[in-house]
Amino acid sequence: MCGLTEGTARVRALYGGVWSPELEVLVFPPLSVLPRVGRVPPGARLQLRHAGGPPPHLAALHYRAVSGLSHVEVTSSGSVHGLSLGTSRIKLVATDISNVEMASAECEVEVIPISGVRVKAATQSLLVGSPGPIWVEAGGLSAGALAALQPAPRVSWSLRDPTAARLYTTHADDMLERSVAEGLSVRVVPLKPGVITIDVRVRNMGQVAETRSWDSTIEILGLSDIRTSVEGLSKELSSGDRLALAVSSVIRLKSLPRGNWKAYGDGALTVNQAGEVTAVRPGFGVILAQHRDDRNNIYRETAIHVEVAVPTYCTAEPSGEPHETGVRLVMRNSVGRALLAPHANVSALAPVAAYSRPGQLTDSVLGTELLIPNLDSAGAFMTFQGSVSGVTLKDEVWVTGTDLRADRVVVTAGWAVCLPGVGWRGPAGITLWAGSDVTLAVLARDTPTTHVLRLDRPLNVYTLHQMDFIPGEWPSALVPLSFTSPGLTSGPLLCTEEQRYALEGATIELPYTCRTKIPHTAVPVLDVINGQMGCKIIPAVPITDASEVELCAEWGAYRACTKVLLLPQIRLSTHKVSLLSPPATFTVSGHPQALKLVRFIPSPGLKLDTNNDSDEIIVTVTNEASTCGHGWISVKSKLTAQEFRVDVQRECDVACGTLLGALFSLLKPYLSTVVTVVAAIAAYIYSTRVKGIKLRS
């Protein structure tokens, strides 16, 4: 019988027309020992393994040395310990339950000395970012065999330039499965191009009772992969990126290091040695960037997948700086992939005008950028149009403006611009020199571009130190508060006069609370017109007698209190007086404390005489000039927050209010001159008549 495949079969024999009983036959793969030939140094251990043979439930496996018994020590489980230099043969026997041999196999183990220790690498050149193994081995002994020494060798790895690469010395560092001994094998990952020098020091490399040490150095060349990019695009192309071009578009590819360009495909595109790609017709293609380093005998290449299509529609997308309102029209194919069309004719239709930014700026290969300079922050509905590949596409969108504003200055290389304040930040093309509250910006590069300088406003956070009532005598209708803290702007109401009148009548809730003696109540108030903030006392009943109450304002942990005098209202005896019936007088009566701060403001041409008594003020009104019309007197009481108006009827001249009176008032200053002229004329006439009478007689 000959076993063909692993499994179980039944066999029976036919003799003279009679069949024998069936016999079950087990077919299993041949038994072998791994490794077939092994090498270990003296004092090291090697674990033998098996392959094939009968199943474990039918047979037991046993290892034993059959020759060279003095060189190795072998256990039944296959652990081999090297004792002395020499060669031994080890046999593996598989026996069944009856101790009958079912299969056997042999291997050879050689115990050799440690010599020719060296450091090896899988390759002498590595791409940046790609790991590569480095290990220590000896003549005929792998790193695994050296790691089996007892005690294990001590190996230290060090980089002369730690920034050139990184070493992973343990399995946990890089999470990669290892088939070699930990410590004697590491992985190196280049971080930048250049020569990577690694120093290796091996200690405690035992050989029976002898101790040996080795120092060595290995160099690996770190290479960067070919970096490809599109001229006019700030982002580099990475592995797996696909370029999409509109038909008839032309772009230029760049590579670092510089190499050769080749295009493969169905004729959809062409590329020359300068990297200029021309999209010919719809289709697909592959462009290869190739570079050969003859000095190091290294060949590299990278592939770029390119799609060429005719635009199906377009979309207007925002672009430009945050303080600008810019739009870039993006051409797209039927599945929505953006197509590069740097030579597309793009324009914006009415009603808002837009101008194109020069194509030499960043990301110019994405197409012409349209800037809308005078767009309101509310925005406008605009239509954009683009023509490329023989088709014209439009997109209608609502474009919103920006609230950010910036000063635009156009300068050339070497010019300097003074900027107010210090703390400006700028790109590498601008050098900034700070002075006393001013910064000088000098343009250092002559390339056409836009440099954005930014000045961050300082974060002014002030802590309230004190809240108190303004000292002085104030009416109960408004006792103003003051807030003190270093750096605060004068306030508390920071509004222009027009804004204050616009806020008049608005309901405003203030953050602090006011309280006073019961039964009266106090509320926070804001005098928008005068720009004062404070508390107001609302009396529970009309005030007839003067009384002093406590008023307090509270805001979180801050509290202020003061004494406020509640006074009865002042009264006027009349609201109208006449100078035609003198004496023209009126009386202001009230509490003596309230009368101390009563002000009288007459209209022009009126004169007031006041006579103060304990509880009243007698006011006598006279006319400084004999003029016609009406006047008034404004009476203001500060402590009771009252204001009155007293109308005054002035005394009049003859025919006052008529045309004759008006003429008389105009000629009165020149009356003496007029009389003199009239007298001279009368004398001249009289003398003329007298002479005429004498001549007739």
For residue 493, give both structure tokens. 């109401």
Q: Is the pLDDT of residue 363 over 80?
A: no
H-helix or E-strand containing 146?
A: helix 143-147
353: number of Cβ within 10 Å = 10
Q: How confident is the model at residue 654 (pLDDT cuts 50, 70, 90)?
A: very low
Structure confidence by residue, pLDDT tens digits, 124-173: 888 888 888 888 888 888 888 888 887 778 888 889 998 899 888 765 54
What is the second-level CATH architecture of the domain 313-399? Sandwich (2.60)
pLDDT at 666: 67
596: Cβ contacts below 8 Å, ≥ 6 apart = 639
Q: Is the pLDDT of residue 665 over 70?
A: no
Query: Higher confidence at residue 525 or residue 416?
Result: 525
Structure confidence by residue, pLDDT tens digits, 26-66: 888 889 999 899 998 888 889 999 998 888 888 899 999 99
pLDDT at 655: 47
H-helix or E-strand containing 696?
A: helix 671-696
What is the second-level CATH architecture of the domain 7-111? Sandwich (2.60)
pLDDT at 74: 94
For residue 641, give both structure tokens. 């927050």
pLDDT at 652: 59
> What is the fold of 227-309?
Immunoglobulin-like (2.60.40)
pLDDT at 180: 44
Instruction: Please state whether beta strands 642-649 and 576-578 pair in parallel, antiparallel, or not at all (unpaired).
Output: parallel
**CB burial string 113-146: b at 16+ within 10 A, e below:** ebeebebebeeebbbbeebbbbbbbbeebbbbbb
CATH number of 571-649: 2.60.40.10
Angle subtended at Cα 56 by Cα 53 and Cα 59, rounded to the nearest 5 degrees: 70
| 255-269, 401-415, 552-566: least confident range | 401-415
Q: How confident is the model at residue 456 (pLDDT cuts 50, 70, 90)?
A: low
| Residue 529 contacts residue 536 (beta carbons within 8 Å) | no
Class of domain 119-223: mainly beta
- Nearest of 218, 118, 134, 217 to residue 181 by alpha carbon: 134
Q: Is the pLDDT of residue 660 over 70?
A: no
pLDDT at 110: 93
Alpha-helical runs (H) found in 496-614: 497-503, 592-595
- Nearest of 277, 134, 154 to residue 198 by alpha carbon: 134
- Mean pLDDT score, 661-669: 64
Sign, CA torsion 574/579/582/584 = positive
Q: Is the pLDDT of residue 80 over 90?
A: yes
> What DSSP string runs through 665-687?
HHHGGGHHHHHHHHHHHHHHHHH
pLDDT at 176: 47
Structure confidence by residue, pLDDT tens digits, 289-317: 888 877 767 788 888 999 999 999 999 88
pLDDT at 400: 79
CA–CA gap between residue 7 and residue 186 (Å, rounded): 44
CA–CA gap between residue 370 and residue 366 (Å, rounded): 12
| 23-32, 181-190, 270-279, 578-587: least confident range | 181-190
CA–CA gap between residue 630 and residue 624 (Å, rounded): 13
AA identity, residue 51 = A
